[in-house]
Copies of this chain bind each other. A is one copy, B any other.
């Protein structure tokens, strides 16, 4: 029964506009989880990076972090980079439980919504 936090983990990009849907996702999620801090963290190119965000949460007393990869496909970033990052974070923060769930793009309901969008784009 720790103090929990949810971190939405995204790739990052050079264009600031890139982050807009991720910020909207963070805000929508936070509105549905009023008792849990919900934040964004990035792999590269944008701040905060995941290690800085986890350190920040840990220093604030969070000891149970769920990381949601906001990625469509599971490529090298999720298969290799994220596990390495999380392994290091577990060493750096031994008192913090860190769980990584599947990528949003693998979720059937997300796929259904994307399908509906693709179908509608033709009409």
Contacts and interface: CB of A to CB of B under 8 A. Distances in A.
A55 interface: no
B79 A118 contact: no
A29 to B, nearest CB: 4
Nearest to A14: B76
Interface of A: 4, 6, 8, 10-11, 13-15, 17-22, 24-25, 28-29, 32-33, 36, 38, 66, 68, 70-76, 79, 101, 103-107, 109-119, 121-122
A76 B114 contact: no
A24 B115 CA distance: 9
Contacts of A29: 115, 118-119
Contacts of A71: 72
